A = this chain, B = another copy of it.
């Protein structure tokens, strides 16, 4: 069915207690499509500036990601600068330069328009909806967002959510969006905005999935060497949507598996800066870690 993602491709500068990385490859769509590429054909929609080097595009191409929807515009690539303290759950944004993203006008290549699975990564909800309108008849639409849009474009975000099946959102942002402190109530409130499934991302505590008929709690893999949490949420979404698109059958059982696959991809992402871990990550490693998640959570019936 193929999987389309619209989001950011960026240069990140990141500081963690374990080191620094300057102007490295980043962006929500980059992490998402790289993680998803292990499972399905990915079509990328994003914009970069003239300063974006060919080597990064070659990295994406090597992962068999379709980059025909990656525009190259006059100006500089989107830049994000952030810092993590020992509490690696919380990024502190030091600087954001929208650059070419400020005037981004996503146009889908003709070949993208009948993609079955769509992920609207964390960008302006107006752009998310514009992309969605260009897809003919998507089978499943998932979306991510953040406090920035909840605070500045709530009306637009709620409009986009009407057309979304699955929302992935951070715990604090779920509370902010729903104005409910209790997560069960928060999820139910957000469902009333449109999405049938809410996946609440909790960083090192894993993820919670709520649907009308099911609740699923996925752990995070306890990692001794978390180097850089940047991209964990997008790698999660990439694994999740990549796997779902590959099985192409939306059942509760498959969604649960997809959430674990997403958690696996996030657990690899944080082991190194930027997308470095994905340069050498193999399918066997992914399968083995999936088994470790099984071991991590298994218990017998009473």
Copies per assembly: 2
B300 contacts A184, C-beta separation under 8 Å: no
Decide yes or no whether A183 CB sits under 8 A from chain B. yes
- Give the CA-CA distance A206 to B217 in the complex, in Å: 10
Contact yes or no, B181 A224, CB < 8 A = no
Q: Specify the chain B residue showing the minimal Cβ separation from A208.
A: B222
Q: Is A223 interfacial (CB 8 A cutoff)?
A: yes
CB pair A216 B299 closer than 8 Å: yes
Chain B, Cβ-Cβ closest to A226: B182
Residues in A218-261 with C-beta less than 8 Å from chain B:
218-220, 222-226, 253, 256-257, 259-261
In the bound complex, do residue A298 and residue B202 qualify as a contact, i.e. CB atoms below 8 Å apart?
no
Kindly identify which residue among B185, B222, B260, B291 contacts A224, using a CB–CB cutoff of 8 Å.
B185
Inter-chain contact A299/B260, CB cutoff 8 Å: yes
A287 pairs with B299, CB closer than 8 A: no
Chain B positions within 8 Å of A253 at CB level: 299-300
Q: Are B287 and A257 in contact (CB under 8 A)?
A: no
Interchain nearest-CB distance for A13 vs B (Å)? 23
Residues of B contacting A294 with CB < 8 Å? 299, 301
Q: Does A57 contact B (CB under 8 A)?
A: no
Q: Does A282 contact B (CB under 8 A)?
A: no
Look across to chain B and name the residue whose beta carbon is closest to the beta carbon of A216.
B296
**Total interface residues in chain A, CB < 8 Å:** 43
Q: Check if A297 sits within 8 Å of B257, measured CB to CB.
A: no
Least CB distance from A180 to B in Å reads 10
> Any chain B CB within 8 A of the CB of A126?
no
CA distance A242 to B51 in the complex (A): 64
Q: Which of B86, B214, B216, B296 contacts A217 (CB 8 A)?
A: B296
Contact (Cβ within 8 A) A184 B256: no
Interchain CB contact (< 8 A) of A86 among B181, B205, B259: B181
Q: Write the nearest CB–CB distance from A51 to chain B, whole angstroms.
A: 36
Asked if B299 and A257 make an inter-chain contact with CB atoms under 8 angstroms apart, the answer reads yes
Closest B residue by C-beta to A296: B217
30 A-B residue pairs with CB within 8 Å: A17-B181, A182-B224, A182-B226, A183-B222, A184-B222, A184-B223, A185-B224, A202-B205, A205-B205, A206-B217, A206-B219, A215-B222, A215-B295, A216-B296, A216-B297, A216-B299, A217-B220, A217-B296, A253-B300, A256-B298, A256-B299, A257-B299, A257-B300, A261-B302, A287-B302, A290-B302, A291-B301, A294-B299, A294-B301, A297-B297
The 6 closest A-B pairs by CB, nearest first: A217-B219, A256-B299, A205-B205, A184-B224, A86-B181, A217-B296
